[in-house]
């Protein structure tokens, strides 16, 4: 199993530009999570999907952030327009959520720098 795959690994762009982060979860997992990690705020859950449906997006900081999961094998997190304070490492994770909360498997993240 290839694990959770994120792309790109690094992204540097100027403020105001649109940024799209991509994630391929582990096959068979029914839940996908987007996190943001910074030194100041630690690991923050932005949004999670269950069976491709967004369940809780209360962690999405602003309307500039949006996430989609068009099918079980692909998700995107988009920031438009981007701002310097969006600079962080963004992680995608997947798991199988059911009666027992199973471990999450993380990708290696996208390091985003907004200039």
Closer of 15 and 108 to other proteins (Cβ)? 108
Side-chain half-sphere CA neighbours of 69 within 13 A: 22
Question: How many residues contact other proteins, by CB under 8 A?
Answer: 24
94, burial (CB in 10 Å: exposed 0-12, middle 13-18, buried 19+): buried
Long-range pairs of 82-86 with CB within 8 A, sequence gap ≥ 24: 82/13, 82/15, 82/16, 82/17, 82/18, 82/19, 82/112, 82/114, 83/15, 83/114, 84/15, 84/114, 84/115, 85/114, 86/19, 86/112, 86/114
Out of 23, 104, 112, 114, the residue judged to bind other proteins by CB under 8 A: 104
Residues 38-57 that bind other proteins (CB under 8 A): 42-43, 45, 48, 50, 55-56
* Contact flag: residue 12 with other proteins (CB under 8 A): no
Out of 8, 16, 108, 115, the residue judged to bind other proteins by CB under 8 A: 108
Specify the stretch interacting with other proteins by CB under 8 A; choose among 21-29, 65-73, 78-86, 90-98: 90-98
* Contact flag: residue 93 with other proteins (CB under 8 A): yes
Tell me which residues touch other proteins (CB under 8 A): 4, 31, 33, 42-43, 45, 48, 50, 55-56, 91, 93, 97-101, 103-109
């Amino acid at each position: 199993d290839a694990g959770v795959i994120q792309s790109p690994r690094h992204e540097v762009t100027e403020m105001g530009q649109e940024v799209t982060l991509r994630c391929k979860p582990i096959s068979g997992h029914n839940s996908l999570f987007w996190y943001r990690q910074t030194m100041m705020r630690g690991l923050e859950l932005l949004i999670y999907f269950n069976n491709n449906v967004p369940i809780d997006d209360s962690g999405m900081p602003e309307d500039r952030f949006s996430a989609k999961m068009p099918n079980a094998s692909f998700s995107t997190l988009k920031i438009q327009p981007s701002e310097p304070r969006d600079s962080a490492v963004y992680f995608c994770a997947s798991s199988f959520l059911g009666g027992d909360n199973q471990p999450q498997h993380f990708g290696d993240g996208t390091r985003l720098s907004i200039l």
